[in-house]
Amino acid sequence: MKQIKKIVVVGGGSAGWMSAATLINFFPNHDITVIESSDIKPVGVGESTLGGIRYWMSALGIDEKDFMSYTNASYKMSIKFTDFYEKDHGSFHYPFGQPYTDNSTGLNDWQVKKAVYPDTPVEDYCRSYYPAMSFIEQNKFPNPDSDLENFRQDTDVAYHFDAALFGQWLKNNYCLPRGVKHIDTIVDSIQHDDTGITSLILSNTDTINADLYIDCTGWKSLLLGETLKEPFNSYSDILPNNRAWAVQLPYTDKEKELEPFTNCTAIDNGWVWNIPLWSRIGTGYVYSDKHISPEDALQQFKDHLNSDKMTVPNNNRVTDDLEFRDISMRVGLHQRTWVKNVVAIGLSAGFIEPLESNGLFTVHEFLLNLVSVLQRGHGTQWDRDTYNTATKSLFDNFAEFVSLHYALSVRDDTPYWQEIKNKTFSPAMVAHTPMLSNGFTDLVARKMSTFEHSSNSGMHCIATGMNYFVFNSINILYAEKTHNINVKEQLDYWIDSRQQLIDKWNTESNNSITLFQYLKEHIHDNI
């Protein structure tokens, strides 16, 4: 069998250049070419990331300050959700990293607190376990040497950045200097047979062939979908949204508005994201065109931007010179993402929706899975099958995690939310996967039998924020009668000891500088 030595990436953008960067890093002697036309504007999906991207960057040896200054990047420590549980109900956070517990305390303790003191707000949950919350809520950023329990700046922080600029930076500062070839043109036609793609005919009449083709052509999925006809499985049964309006807004008070988190606010027919970069704010309205027309959605979006629901209200944000982009989303995953000699990466493989910042997450995770296979040197059917199984499991789990934000909602103020409230979100979708800590089945089992959340994923943060508690007064009564203990007495001791930790975290936050100041001093100091 022929070894994989020559790889062609079709399509650029963040997915295409992340693919080329990953491959040239792990296989520096391979012949790697990117076909990208400068006439095609990238979608620009993926301005908000998750902590896993730092592992990928570390593996590639990417200089943080260099890429951050180029891409107008900022740091991200959490995702904030507003009005997802109920309209005008308030907000909760999903901070990155693991919650801080020790031998004498666990996630169950807060559940007991909520049962004994029902008026405890859900926001108190993350404040009690995540030291970063003290910084997040004050727009502060911890120094690298901060003494915060169970918090590491190198792993528990992600980025907000300009996705289009990120692709450019990877191209000019990483890929081309390492020998990746770039052809500025489009693919005019594709030759293929039973073995897969045999050659690409370019618009300049050149012909190019490869051992492996990476499809990064976006939702068009030119190679995997259009050419090889691999079936696409829609996830619309659990993910209701399929369109978005996006726009870039200027700052009015950058130090106040530059927050260390992505803000997601549920409104009438979907939700609005708010992503603060160094240079501007990226915002968009993700919605379902089943319930509202694009024209009405745009007006609804503009009304929201000028309302007090914005993170930092400003009644003069929407002006005539703003460019609103209409984005149609293909939500789902191809049945297989590696077929014959074609691997789809990014939007060409599948997309969940922007909630929980999965766009670039699936890119770097799929790529790392691909690297682990290609290190064998060939790409047999076994390799393709195991890759497809691993990536589908990863994708399915993330899709189910995202759908949890809708499944646990009790909103019924519009037909959109009424439909979601009465919808069946089946756990059967990922019942086969071993990653149950990310799935409905695990969440339900813990509520109904073990009465304790798992800390292995952010599931417990979302569940608690959506008033889905694993512990109640019945459990307390059982504990008191069976074990002859005074639950309230023990609980009050835990509350006091935990408050001491919170006070310590607040002190560190009070003594720290704002995220704006930190970025100005350490990252964007040349501006």
Angle 69-70-71 from CA coordinates, rounded to 5°: 95
Residue (of 363, 41, 18) closest to 166 by Cα position = 18
The residue type at 414: T
Give every CB contact of residue 64 below 8 A, 6+ residues apart in sequence.
57
CB 123 within 8 A of CB 92: yes
Does 65 qualify as catalytic in the annotation? no
Catalytic residue among 5, 41, 65, 76: 76
CB 213 within 8 A of CB 294: no
- Which strands make up the sheet holding 31-35, listed edge to edge? 181-183, 31-35, 6-10, 212-215, 342-344, 338-339
Residue (of 95, 92, 100) closest to 498 by Cα position = 100
Distance of CA 202 to the CA centre of its chain: 34
Q: Counting beta carbons within 10 angstroms of the beta carbon of residue 513, is it exposed (0 to 12), middle (13 to 18) or buried (19 or more)?
A: middle
CB 116 within 8 A of CB 108: no
Helices (H), 77-232: 107-116, 123-129, 133-136, 163-169
Three-state DSSP state, 271: strand
DSSP string, 194-217: TTEEEEEEETTS-EE--SEEEE--
Residue numbers annotated as active site: 76
